[in-house]
Amino acid sequence: MVCFPGYSPAGFLLLLLQASRWCSAVSEFSVKGPDEPINVLLGADATLPCQLSPEQSAAHMHIRWYRDQLSPAVLVYQNGQERGGQQMLEYRGRTELVGDSIHKGSVALLIQHVRASDNGQYQCRFEDGHISQEAIVELHVIGLGSAPHVQLMGPEDGGIRVLCSSGGWFPKPRVQWSNMAGVKLPTLSESQTQDGDGLFYVEASLVVTDSSLGNVTCSIQNPFSDQEKVSAIFLPEPFFPRTSPWKAALAGTLPVLGLLLIGISYTGWREHQAKEREVKKTKKESHERDQMRNEKEMALTAKANLEAELEGRKALYNEDWKKALLYPDWRKEQFQPAPVTLSHEIFHQNNSDPERKENFREGTQDLSLSNKQEDCNLITLTQEGFSFWRHFWEVDIEDIDEWTLGIYEEPIENNKYLQKKKYRVLEKKGCEYRALTYCLQDISLEKSLPIEKCPRKIVIFLDYEDGDISFYNMTDGTHIFSFTQASFSGSVHPYFKLKSMEMSSSAQY
């Protein structure tokens, strides 16, 4: 046996036994985390448990909570206190160890006001001298967005296109369409975008061709918690595209009227036939007259039925016209024509040119002016700005390459919510269109619009109580864009100029 100098064999064996026990005591600990992910609602506080096993004090240890790398960390505890110098900036002031259970080996991490960026894996690490152990804790951040907003977008591919949109979701949600029986319907298109806070905004569309379907339902579900929000919309049968009732009536009536004229001419010609055939001719003429009378009555009945059907479709439209983004001529009946006129200065500059004379009347205006006109609002009201009810006006923008059209909201006295003019406009610059919400170089909404057929005339519908401004192309009757939930707090005025909005460099196309 080999012995160290100064130790007997028995003393050397005792030394080895003590060293073995000391090493075993140092290395025999482990770290335990939860078996399942921790689910926390967006904005709430999250507690991530972490326990030393067997239970023992960890006050003398170096404890570190971290994400992808050891430093900078989410939280560092060393020498009996938290060390902020090694902490990630986004966690400063939001994290701490729960309670004073560190003497029992519990170092649960509290994260306050959870954000979308907090989602993912966390590492809980204990260091005691040269020995370290760690565990992984998974945090699932659940963002439940707004209730789906479902609306009719107009006819498409022989049916009706329906759009479902919602924001404020995390992580990326699942979208599903279904009918009243719960049968799933295929989505035509879906897009999901993230805002600056990492929350998802989703838009999904569906084309319904079955007019007997009734209701369709849009369901948006969070994949972590399986919680969902659901909205449904009723699809009236008359909203489905058909052949125009007037065209059908005209197509059915004209051939019958043509036959009547031919029959009458034929009858007149037969009356001049020979005398010896007069009896036979009289009987035949009587029969033909009866037949033509019956055909005429059938044609008039068919026309009356078509007119009644048209009135029925219009009545159904009037019952739920706010959800149907089509038939702008019918929509006008729900609004009051706006008393608008042309600015006097611009009017006198162009009054000498007969091709540019404007014809303004309540609800309709012709603003076919050159792009060379000064950049100012061409529309004025013959009354104070709108502060209630529904109004509409039309603007002729044919052959104008650059224009801005919509409304601006002017603050009223003692209004703490609106202190400067706020514009909500549709803008054309060259061949590009976009919708803007704009206030003193600050754009709160900017959306490019895919308009394939340039409109020659646009009608603007303003619903002050509902906070809705809608634009329609009167050339083909299609809906262009709507500002919804505007929440007006001042007076609203029409706005139109022959230039685009002047923005800072960061706000251009």
Strand partners for 336: 391
HEC string of 405-435 equals EEEEEECCCCCCCCCCCEEEEEEEECCEEEE
Q: Which residue did the predictor score with more confidence, 156 or 119?
A: 119
Q: Which two tokens stand for residue 140?
A: 């699932």
Most distant CA atoms of the chain, gap in Å:
162
CA distance 402 to 427: 8
CA distance 44 to 387: 40
Angle separating helix axes 278-319 and 245-271, nearest 10 degrees: 170
pLDDT exceeding 70 applies to what percent of the chain?
83
Q: What residue spans of 121-226 are helical by DSSP H?
A: none
pLDDT of residue 118: 96
Predicted confidence (pLDDT) per residue in 335-378, tens digit? 999 999 866 455 345 444 444 434 333 444 433 333 333 348 99
How much is the average pLDDT of 475-484? 93
pLDDT of residue 248: 55
How much is the average pLDDT of 409-415? 77
Q: Read off the DSSP letter of residue 339.
A: -
pLDDT at residue 328 is higher than 70? yes
pLDDT of residue 17: 55
Q: Which two tokens stand for residue 129?
A: 């001298």
Of 172-181, 216-225, 357-366, 467-476, give the lowest mean pLDDT range. 357-366
pLDDT exceeding 90 applies to what percent of the chain?
50
pLDDT of residue 506: 37
How much is the average pLDDT of 301-316? 87
**Structure confidence at residue 12 as a pLDDT band (50, 70, 90):** low
Predicted confidence (pLDDT) per residue in 190-200, tens digit? 999 999 999 99
**Structure confidence at residue 241 as a pLDDT band (50, 70, 90):** confident
Q: Which residue did the predictor score with more confidence, 253 or 31?
A: 31
How much is the average pLDDT of 250-266? 76
pLDDT of residue 311: 85
Q: How many CB atoms lie within 10 A of CB 92?
A: 10
| Mean pLDDT over each residue of the chain, to the nearest integer | 83
pLDDT at residue 16 is higher than 90? no
Of 256-260, 271-275, 368-372, 395-399, give the lowest mean pLDDT range. 368-372
pLDDT of residue 361: 36
pLDDT of residue 15: 58
C-alpha closest to that of 321 among 162, 151, 206? 151
Q: Which residue did the predictor score with more confidence, 296 or 27?
A: 296
Q: Is the pTM of this model over 0.85?
A: no
Of 149-153, 180-184, 274-278, 378-382, give the lowest mean pLDDT range. 274-278
For the chain, what is the radius of gyration of the CA atoms? 38
Predicted confidence (pLDDT) per residue in 32-49, tens digit? 999 999 999 999 999 999
Q: Which two tokens stand for residue 377?
A: 């609002």
pLDDT of residue 320: 84
Predicted confidence (pLDDT) per residue in 162-199, tens digit? 999 999 999 999 999 999 888 999 998 999 999 999 99
